[in-house]
Amino acid sequence: MDIEPAKNDSVEKFKPYLIPGAILLAGALVAGAVFYSSGGRSGGQATIGGEPSGSVQVSADDDSFLGPKKAKVEIIEFSDYQCPFCRSFWRETLSQIRSEYIDAGKSVKFVYRDFPLAQIHPLSQKYAEAAQCAGDQNKYWEMHDKIFEEQDKLGQGTIGAFEIQDIKKWAADLGLNVLEFNQCLDSGKYAEEVRKDYEAGVQANVNGTPTFFVNGIRLIGAQPFESFKAVIDEELGK
């Protein structure tokens, strides 16, 4: 049966795009647990259905990225800012990808695309919009990191401890023009952009977070750095 989502403005506004409640019930019951794919590369993931195998080419669109604009290896992440497994990737793996490849000047590009699971992570939509709003002031990645960092302080499994006002405080902490940031966030300026990312993920058969595409090779879940390194090095060597 359908499940009525929490009465949250961001949830209600995007209700037509949310995954059916019957599917998400299983995810909600096991929130905080680790899911594993039945085959292929797998890892901890917030899951909303069966996990497809194979690979697919996915557009980076015009989303924020690290590394050179034109790179031999393109990593696209579909992620949810309230997903504990996405935070594990940010904490344990992304920093290594940055230092070993991107900061080292190798031809690797990392793209972040939004896939908010709003029925189980009610603030995920506004987190995604907040990063975009910070991007207007050239601080997308600073806000990206700040969102994960603040949640991480409260424990690895935390998914719902903050409110909109906390996001606005973080903007001030980052030295943003708070008036401009608040206007952007309150207006929903980037709501459509986030929705487009979500729909692109659906088209690519993304059904949980985090999901990655490394030159079209699908990696599912909070994989260790070694899993990414194996694929990246192989692609760089081609």
Q: What is the pLDDT of residue 157?
A: 81
Domain annotation covers residue 167? yes
Q: How many CA atoms lie within 13 A of 104 on its CB side?
A: 10
Q: What is the pLDDT of residue 1?
A: 32
Domain annotation covers residue 127? yes
Q: Domain range for residue 162?
A: 67-236
Domain annotation covers residue 86? yes
Q: What is the pLDDT of residue 47?
A: 41
Q: What is the pLDDT of residue 43?
A: 55
Domain count, the chain: 1
CATH number at residue 210: 3.40.30.10
How far apart are the C-alpha atoms of 62 and 40, rounded to whole Å? 30
Indicate left, alpha or beta for 61 from its phi (over 0: left) and psi (-120 to 50: alpha).
left
pTM for the structure as a whole:
0.78
Domain annotation covers residue 203? yes
Q: What is the pLDDT of residue 8?
A: 40
CA distances from 64 to 4, 18, 109, 232 (A): 33, 23, 10, 20
Q: Could you state, in chain order, the average pLDDT of each consecutive group of 10 residues for the chain (238 residues)?
A: 35 41 35 31 46 62 90 97 96 96 97 95 97 98 97 86 96 98 98 97 95 96 96 96
Domain annotation covers residue 24? no
Q: Are 31 and 46 in contact (CB under 8 A)?
A: yes
Q: What is the pLDDT of residue 30?
A: 35
Q: Return the number of other C-beta atoms located less than 10 Å from residue 114's C-beta.
A: 27
Domain annotation covers residue 152? yes
Percentages helix, strand, coil for the chain (3-state, rounded to 5) are: 45, 10, 45
Domain annotation covers residue 62? no
Q: What is the pLDDT of residue 121?
A: 95
Domain annotation covers residue 81? yes
* Phi (first) and psi of residue 125, to 5 degrees: -65, -45
Q: What is the pLDDT of residue 44?
A: 62
For residue 210, is the peptide bond before it cis, meaning its omega torsion is within 30 degrees of 0?
A: yes
Structure token digits, residue 126: 């506004």
Q: What is the pLDDT of residue 55?
A: 57
With a CB cutoff of 8 Å and minimum separation 6, the contacts of 231 are: 214, 215, 217, 219
CA dihedral (94, 194, 64, 185) positive or negative: negative
